[in-house]
Amino acid sequence: MNRSQMTSVGIACGMAVWLFSGDFLSQNADAETVSVGMAPLVNLDTTMAVRGERSEGVAKPVMLDVLGQTKANRRVAVKAEVTGRVTEVLVNRGAYVQAGEPLCRIAADSRVAELREAKAKQTSAEIEYQGGLDLSSRGLQSKIAMAKLAAQREQSVARVDAATANLAKTELSAPFSGFVEERSVEVGDLVTPGVSCAVVIELEPLLVVGQVAESEVSNVSVGQSVGVSVGAAGSELVGQITFVARTPDPATRSFKVEARIEQPGRAARAGLSATLSLPIREAMAHLVSPASLSLDDSGQLGLKIANVAGRVEFKTVEIVEEGPEGIWVTGLPQMATVITAGHEDVVNGQAVDVDYSELTLLSQN
């Protein structure tokens, strides 16, 4: 057999294998189709044994958790109002200061002399005015002259007040009690009006700022009590809503809310993560085990219960609270028989025989 004949035989064998493999594949596919089509349907009247428990709904507040962060109640940069060199810096960063406590001092320069001059002119104006009154009482002073003397006296008083205020501006004080967050100057620095000496922040009371979705903002109001969990340690505090925005954030379409904590204690730091827990409504809820939850064909979370006819019903539920004892859900009737074991083996509408006895763990000796 020459080479061309061997090639022809190889091609013929390959075609035969290809044809037979197609027949086998089609036969297998037909067999699978028949087997699927002949799959037995669930008999809903076949009673399945399941384990369950009777549950009664109780009134439970539905909480809205809002993520946010802590923020200083007030933050002020204490700035110079006059020009001069810094002669004293009286505080360090992180120090706690009382309202009115001095932070920095600026050189008085000629301001003390200006105040003495103003006081001297005030004394002179007062003497001239009193002399004019004496002459006026004897009819020797005109009303016009007395008016001029009175004006001079008032001008001298105003000059003293201005000089006193100008001298007082050389000492920069804390506007309220709080912590020194920044210290911007050192002794010898030349400051001009508008230059910051220090930044003081007020952390008591403490603010917590968060964003609420537009679907829930109508449930939040000023004056509402709120639980606050602050920081990684989860310090539990109580606050009060003090602000609810009227316009949303253009980017997120959520509304800004602020809560005030009057006595934050150790949580008194700005920038910590926090969670606001707001009671927005009250609902009838059941306490169940998370293991009883299941999904329906559309992916909805729910529970399977046994109705009064002894058949399975799937109820879509909403989790409103979680805890070590279980989860609280809404969506069930006031009284419900929750299937706790065997719910994976039954379908909606199927007859069930519910065993209400508690599970017991057997131990081997």
Which CATH fold topology does 65-72+205-281 show? Elongation Factor Tu (Ef-tu); domain 3 (2.40.30)
The H or E element containing residue 185 is none
User: Please, are residues 198 and 103 in contact by the beta-carbon 8 Å criterion?
Assistant: yes
* DSSP code of residue 40: P
**Is pTM, for the whole model, over 0.85?**
no
The amino acid present at 124, given as its one-letter code, is S
Dist. CA 258–CA 226, nearest whole Å: 11
Say what the pLDDT of residue 346 is. Answer: 85
Q: Which residues face 56 on adjacent strands?
A: 335
pLDDT reported for residue 232: 72
Q: Tell me how far apart the alpha carbons of residues 52 and 88 are, in angstroms, rounded to a whole number.
A: 77
Whole-number Cα distances in Å, 67 to 223, 230, 242, 257: 19, 10, 17, 11
The pLDDT, as a whole number, for residue 309 is: 86
Q: Which residue has the tokens 């932070």?
A: 103
Element of type H or E holding 259: strand 254-261
Residue intervals of the chain classified under CATH 2.40.30.170 are: 65-72+205-281
Q: What is the pLDDT of residue 298?
A: 87
Residue 262: CB atoms within 10 A of its CB come to: 11
* The dihedral sign for the CA sequence 174, 179, 181, 184: positive
Q: How far apart are CA 19 and CA 12, in angstroms?
A: 11
The span from the CA of 280 to the CA of 225, in Å, is: 11
DSSP 175-241: SSSEEEEEE---TT-EE-TT-EEEEEEEEEEEEEEEEEETTTGGG--TT-EEEEEETTTTEEEEEEE
80-198 topology per CATH: OB fold (Dihydrolipoamide Acetyltransferase, E2P) (2.40.50)
From CA 27, how far away is CA 232, in angstroms rounded?
63
Q: Which of 216, 211, 207 is nearest to 249 (CA)?
A: 211
User: Which pLDDT score is estimated for 224?
Assistant: 92
The answer to whether 270 and 178 have CB atoms below 8 angstroms apart is no
Question: What string of pLDDT tens digits covers the 365 residues of the chain?
Answer: 544 544 454 455 545 544 544 544 444 444 444 344 444 566 777 788 888 888 888 888 888 889 999 999 999 999 999 999 999 999 999 999 999 999 999 999 999 999 999 999 999 999 999 999 988 888 888 889 999 999 999 999 999 999 999 999 999 999 999 999 999 999 999 999 999 999 999 999 999 999 999 988 998 999 999 999 887 766 788 999 999 999 999 999 999 999 999 988 866 889 999 999 988 888 889 999 888 898 888 888 999 988 888 888 898 998 888 888 898 988 899 998 898 888 888 888 888 888 888 765 444 44
For 179, counting Cβ atoms within 10 Å of its Cβ (0-12 exposed, 13-18 middle, 19+ buried), the class is buried
CATH architecture of 48-60+283-355: Beta Barrel (2.40)
